[in-house]
């Protein structure tokens, strides 16, 4: 079966653990930064980003 891509963007297969950890760390930092930038202007979106960051952190902890 070939890789499937959505119209918005492509999924990135995580081929090895080293790449996976660095990708998840970047995503975690990105979610935290975006949530901080949004702040009080859009609390629902900031809350969503914080939940995503929390889930990403939990995944990182499982890998470590």
Residue 16 pLDDT greater than 80, yes or no: no
CA torsion, ordered 35, 39, 44, 48, to nearest 10 deg = 10
Q: What is the pLDDT of residues 26-62, one digit of tens each?
A: 999 999 999 999 887 888 999 999 999 999 999 889 8
pLDDT of residue 4: 60
Provide the pLDDT confidence category of residue 10 given band limits of 50, 70 and 90: low
Q: What is the pLDDT of residues 18-34, one digit of tens each?
A: 678 888 899 999 999 99
Taking the C-alpha atoms of residue 6 and residue 19, their distance in angstroms, rounded to an integer, is 22
- Prediction pTM value: 0.69
Q: Is 43 helix (H, G, I), strand (E, B) or coil?
A: helix
């Amino acid at each position: 079966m070939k890789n499937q891509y959505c119209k918005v963007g492509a999924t990135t297969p995580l081929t090895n653990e080293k790449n996976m950890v660095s990708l998840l760390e970047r995503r975690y930092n990105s979610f935290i930064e975006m949530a901080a930038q949004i702040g009080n202007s859009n609390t629902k979106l900031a809350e969503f980003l914080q939940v995503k960051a929390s889930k990403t952190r939990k995944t990182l902890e499982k890998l470590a």
